[in-house]
Amino acid sequence: KPESHTSTFYSVGSLSTTYEKKETLMQPCMEDLEPIDTFGVVVGKTSEKGSSKRPSARDLSHRLSRPPPEAVVGEGSFGVVWRAMDRHTGQWFAVKIIEARKRGRANVATRDAEAANHIRVHPHSCLVTLFFVHHFVEERMYMLVMEYCSGGDMKHRIRQALREQEHLSLYRPPRGAISWIGQAFLGLEHLHLVAKALLRDLKAENIVIDAHGCAKIIDFGLARMSTESDGTWTFGVPPGSPGYISPEIIRGEKYGFPADIYSFGVLVWVLLSGGLMDCPLEPGPPVSRKGFGYTAYLDDYRLLHRCLDQPDRNNARPLSDQGKELVERLTHRKPEWRADHAGIRSLELMRSLKLPYPGARKSEVDAWVSQTAIS
């Protein structure tokens, strides 16, 4: 009987450089990817370089779904992300495994892969490039092959900056922080206005820094391929992360772009303040710990604004006037009072970045990113 294990994939037809400083990334093949450590040394079981026989989907999925610990860069509830190198070109990639074998995960995994593929066809310099989504049908597994960003995530960079300070009350944002704010905004604006999608899980862990110092949005697992939602919690929980979720999502109300803008405001506060002073190793926003259920997170909005208005009384660090203005305008309790995309661009801190205008050509966006990225 013929081999029944099959695989399918959605690929990028042609690729261009993200910006001039960046080397051209070639389209990789799944069977050519090898797990590597932080030094680029191949680890674990490798492919048969001298063999001309194409591996079966079963053999390929078995090899690629079990990366050695040295290659793993992150883990989540649906699998791991590991570091890979194309054995022919030597280029590095990140591979995200989305498991769908366990009960209740199939729909979530399929949705995650479909969302990633939707973002793939709407590329932007401030979104991590997704090369293809590979579906191992019989193994009930997806693998997303993405560009590898060697600078770590924003939360890691904030943690590094905190460790460099002599006293807990002191904090100097990472070099390039203001540029990262502009880059994250451009990526989010592109998702809203071009891809017509809501991200719904913007946080410091979901912003990565590439080798040239450019901030890029990653992880579109909770993205909604629509600009509005009726407020229903599709999987029985509110989309997002505690402290970053907008009040209207917690309340189960209709929401749209302003929900992501709220999360963006929280992200800016965490980046510029370093988070709460009693959590130096886990920089993040204030999160309510009272009560049961998700409604307790409704207090997160109040906690954030107490940190803004009276930082010394709330275990927080003060922001500059420009930073405080930006966070306040992005995190109003009522979504209609928050700044929209044009309003965000008009704020003093954002004006100083001289962002490319909405609808600018890719070459213009790339040139701006190249000028503002700090390696």
The answer, yes or no, to whether residue 231 has pLDDT greater than 80, is yes
Q: What span, in angstroms and rounded, lies between the C-alpha atoms of 78 and 86?
A: 24
CATH number (3.40.50.300, 2.60.40.10, 3.40.1280.10, 1.10.510.10) of 152-372 reads 1.10.510.10
For residue 2, what pLDDT band results from cuts at 50, 70 and 90?
very low
Query: Same CATH topology for 30-147 and 152-372?
Result: no
> What percentage of the chain has pLDDT greater than the value 70?
87
Say whether 223 sits in a helix, a strand or coil: coil
Q: What span, in angstroms and rounded, lies between the C-alpha atoms of 190 and 196?
A: 8
The answer, yes or no, to whether residue 335 has pLDDT greater than 90, is yes
For residue 215, what pLDDT band results from cuts at 50, 70 and 90?
very high
Question: Where along the chain do its domains lie?
Answer: 30-147, 152-372
Question: Is 290 a known ligand-binding residue?
Answer: no
Position 102 scores a pLDDT of 66
DSSP string, 156-212: HHHHHHHHT-SSTT---PPTTHHHHHHHHHHHHHHHHHTS--B-----GGGEEE-TT
Least confident span in 39-48, 234-243, 353-362 = 39-48
The answer, yes or no, to whether residue 104 has pLDDT greater than 90, is no
Superfamily of domain 30-147: Phosphorylase Kinase; domain 1 (3.30.200.20)
Position 99 scores a pLDDT of 80
Q: What span, in angstroms and rounded, lies between the C-alpha atoms of 158 and 335?
A: 28
Residue range 116-137: mean pLDDT, rounded: 88
Residue range 161-183: mean pLDDT, rounded: 92
Q: What span, in angstroms and rounded, lies between the C-alpha atoms of 237 and 308?
A: 28
Position 273 scores a pLDDT of 97
